[in-house]
Structure 1
Amino acid sequence: MPHDDLPAPETGLVLTHFLTVADVARARAFYTGVLGGEVVLAENPCIVRLANGWIIMNPGGGPTPDKPDVTLHPPTDPTTATSFLNLRVADIQACYEEWSAKGARFLTPPIDRGAEVRCYLRDPDGYLIEVGQATGMLHGVYADPPAGTG
């Protein structure tokens, strides 16, 4: 495997996203077969290059010496999220149609929010993924403040 495929910078840093998954093969199939990523490393950990970033996936587990009080597990409550993957695309309708045809489960079709058109889907472990296309923000129309902030 070429070194260039690994998220291992010679200087500075690169941003990757780690997901704790219940089934590595199932998660790998979703991020490659549905979203179009490329397998860099199949297991231990699984690394998938997705566009200009990497998704790193491994099963959960208990504490380790470098994280002595932390247990990793996939999401357990689909109605709450503390973070999510945010994918920015050039043509959201095309992505919605293509990924739906490949089995992606979207919460809604794309919705025009003024600043952007966006929709959300879940991966096989229940992780929330936002898919958005900048529209209004390219012309000075920005998002409303979050609910409850004023």
Structure 2
Amino acid sequence: MSTRDDLPTPAQGLVLTHFLTVRDVATSRRFYADVFGGQVVLEENPCIVKIANGWIIMNPGGGPTPDKPDIILTAPEPGDPVSSFLNVRVADIAAFYEQAVAKGAQFLTEPLDRKAELRCYVRDPDGYLIEVGQATGLLEGIYADRTDPPGE
């Protein structure tokens, strides 16, 4: 049985969770538990995986409900533009990267130095983009170079 500490149920204030619409709950549950060392606290409906000091909540997509009329939840399709992504901060990106690759994670690149941080990106089984980063220069007031948005 799960305890209050296992679930995103604050005794006071708030906690932050991240919800993902997934195609296959079991596949996504396994990915987040294996690659990010998560603890599965609920298997289904919704699936909840506790990772460090946060939770990923997963369910299949679906149509509108009384509390979200006119909203349809779907997993991303390949090639969809990205407007939001999960951002995971680690103490040792080289070790995390090596362990995650050994567990089957497929990163877009190896960790790259962005002055303020080392970072890389991985996609989950549904194609959600996840940034993995380690603060470096940021701790000394060094920031990454700005990049212009497309079309500017």
Unpaired stretches in structure 1, ≥5 consecutive residues? none
Unpaired stretches in structure 2, ≥5 consecutive residues? none
Question: Is 1:129 aligned to 2:110, yes or no?
Answer: no
Question: Is 1:105 aligned to 2:106, yes or no?
Answer: yes
- Aligned equivalent of 2:76: 75
Give the number of aligned pairs.
150
Identity value in percent? 68
- Aligned equivalent of 1:141: 142
| 1:56-67 paired onto structure 2 within 5 Å | 56-67=57-68
Secondary structure of the residue that 2:76 maps to in structure 1? coil
Q: Distance in 1 between matches of 2:79 and 2:29?
A: 20
Question: Which deviations, in whole Å up to 9, do the C-alpha atoms of 1:37-78 show, x marking residues without a partner?
Answer: 000111100000001100000000011111111000111134
Q: CA RMSD in A?
A: 1.5
Question: Is 1:3 aligned to 2:8, yes or no?
Answer: no
- State the shift of 1:135 in Å: 0.4
| 1:5-84 paired onto structure 2 within 5 Å | 5-78=6-79, 80-84=81-85
CA contact (8 A) 1:78 1:126 kept: no
Question: Which deviations, in whole Å up to 9, do the C-alpha atoms of 1:127-147 show, x marking residues without a partner?
Answer: 000000000111110122341
**Bigger mean CA offset, 139-148 vs 102-111:** 139-148
Q: Distance in 1 between matches of 2:147 and 2:112?
A: 17
Secondary structure of the residue that 2:68 maps to in structure 1? coil
Secondary structure of the residue that 2:94 maps to in structure 1? helix
TM-score using structure 1 length: 0.95
Q: Distance in 2 between matches of 1:78 and 1:144?
A: 26
